[in-house]
């Protein structure tokens, strides 16, 4: 079946550190892949997405590349800020079904 596995947290980084949150997936066919973010006290919102192999999604300094050969969609940012503190969810869509990972909590300290 389809599923998403993402790195467990919580993750604590100092400001300007490099961030990687791992995400791997299992899917039949060719799903679309997403990263959603939930800031404290707010609802889930799309951070970035990729719809086919080798696509790179990017937004707000975050990037993720759809790697079909490794079934991965790791989230990266070169220099995190305190304002990036949030919970990050990896997700996949097959059109009829949508699967989320368990979320990774990130705290960035000054």
Partner 1 sequence: EAGVAQSPRYKIIEKRQSVAFWCNPISGHATLYWYQQILGQGPKLLIQFQNNGVVDDSQLPKDRFSAERLKGVDSTLKIQPAKLEDSAVYLCASSFQRGQADTQYFGPGTRLTVL
Contact positions toward partner 1, by CB under 8 A?
4, 31-32, 36, 42-46, 49, 51, 89, 91, 93-103
- What is the spatial order of strands in the sheet that 75-77 belongs to? 19-21, 75-77, 62-65, 56-59
Minimum CB distance to partner 1, residue 51 (Å): 4
Minimum CB distance to partner 1, residue 79 (Å): 26
Minimum CB distance to partner 1, residue 29 (Å): 9
Closer by beta carbon to partner 1, 8 or else 15? 8
Closer by beta carbon to partner 1, 19 or else 103? 103
Distance CA 67, CA 69 (A): 6
Q: Around 100, how many Cα atoms within 13 Å sit in the side-chain half-sphere? A: 13
17, 79 contact by CB (below 8 A):
yes
């Amino acid at each position: 079946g389809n599923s998403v596995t993402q790195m467990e947290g919580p993750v604590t980084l100092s400001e300007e550190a490099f961030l990687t949150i791992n995400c791997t997936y299992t899917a039949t066919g060719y799903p679309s892949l997403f990263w959603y973010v939930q800031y404290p006290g707010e609802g889930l919102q799309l951070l970035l997405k990729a719809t086919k192999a080798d696509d790179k999604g990017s937004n707000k300094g975050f990037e993720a590349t759809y790697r079909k050969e490794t079934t991965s969609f790791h989230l990266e940012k070169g220099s995190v800020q305190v304002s990036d503190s949030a919970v990050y969810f990896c997700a996949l869509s097959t059109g009829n079904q949508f699967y989320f990972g368990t979320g990774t909590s990130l705290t960035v300290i000054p």
